[in-house]
Structure 1
Amino acid sequence: MVDSIKGILSGQQGAAAPRAADGGREAESFSKLLKESINKVNELQNEAGKAMEKLAKGEDQSIHATMIAAEKANVSFNMMVQVRNKILKAYEEIMRMQV
């Protein structure tokens, strides 16, 4: 669970470094970071779903591994929602600024 969060955060640390002259490349890397993070959350959700299916069918799947996969997916999804909320709050704050 912590490894998946570290993987997402390690990508964010590299993208947060400012680039002096080229704002387009910075925006592109932020966009790429968001897409990669969403894809990672989607992968974890799919893995959890497959693990639950295997458990329900009675295939060789332990309940322990299934619950770990489900919790990883849950934590990563909740983190994604919180990041989304922070981005929306920042956007709303920018929109409230007076020029």
Structure 2
Amino acid sequence: MSVQGIDQVLGELRSMSALASGQPVAKATEAGAPDFAELLKQSIDQVNQVSQGAQAQQAAFQSGDSDANLQDVMVSLQKASLSFQTMVQVRNKLVTAYQEVMNMQV
């Protein structure tokens, strides 16, 4: 997830928080920017692509492909694992933020 994407997610969370507390919402996003759902979907798709690429490299190594070496397979598997763990942590933070917004008194 890029810095711009994180800033956009934080902006969305701030605007939801302001809306829930009854404060006026300042719209600071640009007109052509993707919405939160689209950004989240793109991030999940990227994690999925990394995971599928790592699995393909692993299968090629296991089948004895001469182009696949152990170091590249291990690095790609670690990248896939790290990206998945990051996605899970982002999901946990989003669920926590959602619960906090829902628990706010209006």
Normalised to the residue count of structure 1, the TM-score between the two structures is: 0.77
Give the equivalent residue in structure 1 for 2:86: 79
The one of 5, 12, 28 aligned to 1:12:
5
Higher RCO by CA contacts (8 Å cutoff, separation 6 or greater) = 2
Taking the TM superposition and a 5 Å limit, the aligned residue runs for 1:2-81 are: 8-13=1-6, 15-16=8-9, 18=11, 20-21=26-27, 28-60=34-66, 61-81=68-88
How many percent identity over aligned positions? 34
The one of 80, 92, 97 aligned to 2:99:
92
Residue 13 of structure 1: how far off its partner (Å): 4.3
In structure 2, runs of 5+ residues without a counterpart are 13-25
Work out the CA distance in 2 between the residues paired with 1:31 and 1:44: 20
Name the amino acid aligned to 1:15: Q
**Moved >3 Å (runs of 4+):** 16-23, 25-28
Taking only aligned residues, the RMSD between alpha carbons, in angstroms, comes to: 2.7
Structure showing greater radius of gyration is 2
* Matched position secondary structure for 1:59: coil
Give the helix-richer structure, 1 or 2: 1
Work out the CA distance in 2 between the residues paired with 1:90 and 1:17: 10
